[in-house]
A and B are shown apart, each in its own frame.
Chain A
Amino acid sequence: MEHTSTLERVLRGAALALVVIFFMFPLFWIFMMSFQTNETILRIPPSIVFEPTLSNYAALITGRLETAAGTLEINFLRTLWNSVFLSVTSVAVALLLGVPAAYAFARHKFRGSEDIAFTLLSFRFAPPLLVLLPLTIYFQQLGLSNTYFGLVWVYQLICLPLILWIVRGYFEDISADVEYAYRIAGHSWFATFRKIALPLAGPGIAAAGLLAFIFAWNNFVFALVLASADKQPVTVGALAFVTASGIQYGQIAAAIVLSITPTLALALYAQRYLVEGLSLGAVKG
Chain B
Amino acid sequence: MYEREKDLVDAFIRGQVDRRGLIKGLGALGLTAAMGGTLLAMAQSRAMAADFDWQAHKGKSLKLLLNKHPYADAMIANLQAFKDLTGMEVTYDVFPEDVYFDKVTAALSSGSSEYDAFMTGAYMTWTYGPAGWTEDLNQWIKDPAKTSPTYAWDDVLEGVRKSCAWNGQPGGTLGSDDAKQWCIPWGFEQNNITYNKEMFDKVGVQPPKDLDDLVAVAAKLTKDVGNNVYGVGVRGSRSWATIHPGFLSAYANFGQKDLNVTDGKLSAAMNTAESKAFHAKWVEMIQNSGPKDWSTYTWYQVGTDLGAGASAMIFDADILGYFQNGGTKEAGKLAFHGFKANPAAEAPTPNIWIWSLAMSSFAKDKDATWYFLQWASSVEHAIFGATKHDFVNPVRNAVWKDEMFVEKLKKYPGYFEMFTASAPGASIKFTAQPLFFDLTTEWAATLQKMVAKQVPVDEGLDQLAQSIDGQLKDAGLG
Where the two chains meet, the residues of A that have a C-beta atom closer than 8 Å to any C-beta of B are: 38-39, 42-44, 67-70, 72-73, 132-133, 136-137, 139-140, 145-146, 224-225, 228-230, 232, 236, 239-247
Contact B323 A44 (CB under 8 A): no
Query: What are 12 of the A-B contact pairs (CB < 8 Å)?
Result: A44-B227, A44-B228, A68-B327, A69-B390, A70-B70, A70-B390, A133-B106, A136-B112, A224-B99, A240-B96, A241-B96, A244-B69
Would A228 and B68 count as touching, CB distance under 8 A? no
Using A240-B68, A246-B303 as known contacts, say yes or no to A39 and B329 having CB atoms under 8 A apart: yes
Do the beta carbons of A239 and B98 come within 8 Å of each other?
yes
Top 9 closest pairs, chain A to chain B, by CB:
A68-B327, A68-B326, A229-B93, A245-B323, A136-B110, A239-B96, A42-B308, A225-B106, A240-B96
Of A42, A43, A44, A244, the residue contacting B70 (CB under 8 A) is: A244
Question: Which residues of chain B come closer than 8 Å to A139, judged between CB atoms?
Answer: 110
Task: Check B83 for interface membership: any CB of A closer than 8 A.
Answer: no
A136 near B106 with CB under 8 A, answer yes
Q: How far is the CA of A170 from the CA of B389 in the complex (A)?
A: 60
Q: With the chains together, A72 CA to B72 CA distance in Å? A: 11
For A39, give the chain B residue with the smallest CB separation: B329
Find out whether the CB atom of A242 lies under 8 angstroms from the CB atom of B93.
no
Residues of chain B with a CB closer than 8 A to A224's CB: 95, 99, 102-103, 106
Which residue on B lies nearest to A42, using beta carbons? B308
B277-319: CB near A (< 8 Å → 1, else 0) gives 0000000000000000000000110011001111000000000
A193 to B102, CA, bound (A): 46
Q: A229 touching B323 by the CB < 8 A rule?
A: no
A247, chain B: closest CB distance, angstroms: 5
Q: Which residues of B contact A (CB under 8 A)?
A: 68-70, 73, 76, 93-99, 102-103, 106, 109-112, 114, 227-228, 299-300, 303-304, 307-310, 323-324, 326-329, 331, 389-390
Residues in B whose Cβ lies below 8 Å from that of A44: 227-228, 308-310
Contact present for A133 and B73 (CB under 8 Å): no
Chain A residues lying within 8 Å of B109, measured Cβ to Cβ, are 133, 136
Minimum Cβ distance to chain A for residue B360 (Å) = 13
Residues of A contacting B309 with CB < 8 Å?
A: 44
CA distance A103 to B310 in the complex (A): 60
Query: Can you name 13 extra interface pairs (CB under 8 A) apart from A137-B111, A225-B106?
Result: A39-B328, A42-B329, A68-B328, A69-B73, A70-B389, A140-B111, A225-B103, A236-B96, A240-B68, A240-B94, A242-B96, A244-B69, A246-B300
Assuming the contacts A140-B112, A239-B98, A246-B304, asked whether A132 and B106 have C-beta atoms less than 8 A apart, the reply is: yes
Task: Report the minimum CB–CB distance from A179 to chain B (whole Å).
Answer: 48
- Complex-state Cα separation, A241 to B95, whole angstroms: 11
**Interchain CB contact under 8 A, A242 and B97:** yes
Shortest Cβ distance from residue B166 to the other chain A in the assembled complex, whole angstroms? 25
Contacting pair A242 B300 (CB below 8 A): yes
**Inside 8 A of A244's CB, which chain B residues have their CB?**
68-70, 97, 299, 323
A139 to B111, CA, bound (A): 11
Give the docked Cα–Cα distance between A136 and B94 (Å): 19
Report the separation of the CA atoms of residues A72 and B98 in the bound assembly, to the nearest whole angstrom.
Answer: 16
Which chain A positions have C-beta within 8 A of B303?
245-246
Return chain B residues, CB-CB under 8 Å to A72: 68, 73
Residues from chain A with a CB closer than 8 A to the CB of B93 are 228-230
Q: Which residues on B sit within 8 Å (CB–CB) of A133?
A: 106, 109-110
Considering only CB atoms, which chain A residue lies closest to B299 in the complex?
A244
Q: How far is the CA of A241 from the CA of B103 in the complex (A)?
A: 17
Contact of A69 among B70, B96, B112 (CB under 8 A): B70
Minimum Cβ distance to chain B for residue A237 (Å): 8
Closest to A230 in B: B93
Write out the residue numbers on chain B whose beta carbons fall within 8 Å of the beta carbon of A228.
Answer: 93, 114
Complex-state Cα separation, A228 to B390, whole angstroms: 26
Residues of A within 8 A of B307 (CB): 42, 246
Please, which residue of chain A has its CB at the minimum distance from the CB of B95? A229
> Could you tell me if B103 and A246 are in contact, using CB atoms closer than 8 angstroms?
no
Interface centre among A38, A133, A243 (most CB of B within 10 A): A243
> Hey, which chain B residues are within 8 Å of A68, CB to CB?
323, 326-328, 331
Contact A67 B327 (CB under 8 A): yes
Q: Residue on B with the closest CB to A232?
A: B95
Residues of A within 8 A of B103 (CB): 224-225
A31 to chain B, nearest CB (A): 21
> Roughly how many angstroms separate A69 CA and B106 CA in the complex, as a whole number?
30
Residue among B94, B109, B327, B390 with max Cβ neighbours from chain A (10 Å): B327
Q: How far is the CA of A57 from the CA of B327 in the complex (A)?
A: 19
Could you tell me the distance between the alpha carbons of A67 and B327 in the complex, rounded to whole angstroms? 7
CA distance A70 to B389 in the complex (A): 7
Min CB–CB distance B374 → chain A (angstroms): 25
Please give me the residue from chain B that is nearest to A43 by CB atom. B308
Residues of B within 8 A of A39 (CB): 308, 328-329
**CB neighbours of A140 from chain B (8 A):** 110-112
Q: How far is the CB of B101 from chain A (nearest CB, A)?
A: 11
Most A CB atoms within 10 A — which of B76, B106, B300, B331? B106
Which residue in chain B gives the minimum CB-CB distance to A225?
Answer: B106
- In whole angstroms, how far apart are the Cα atoms of A229 and B102 in the complex? 13
The residues of A that contact B308 with a CB separation of less than 8 Å are 39, 42-44
Which residue of chain B lies nearest to A239 when distances are taken between CB atoms in the complex? B96
Kindly state the separation between the CA atoms of A246 and B1 in the bound complex, as whole angstroms.
42
Which residues of the other chain, A, contact B328 by a CB distance below 8 angstroms?
38-39, 68, 246
CB-CB < 8 A to B106: which residues of A?
132-133, 136, 224-225
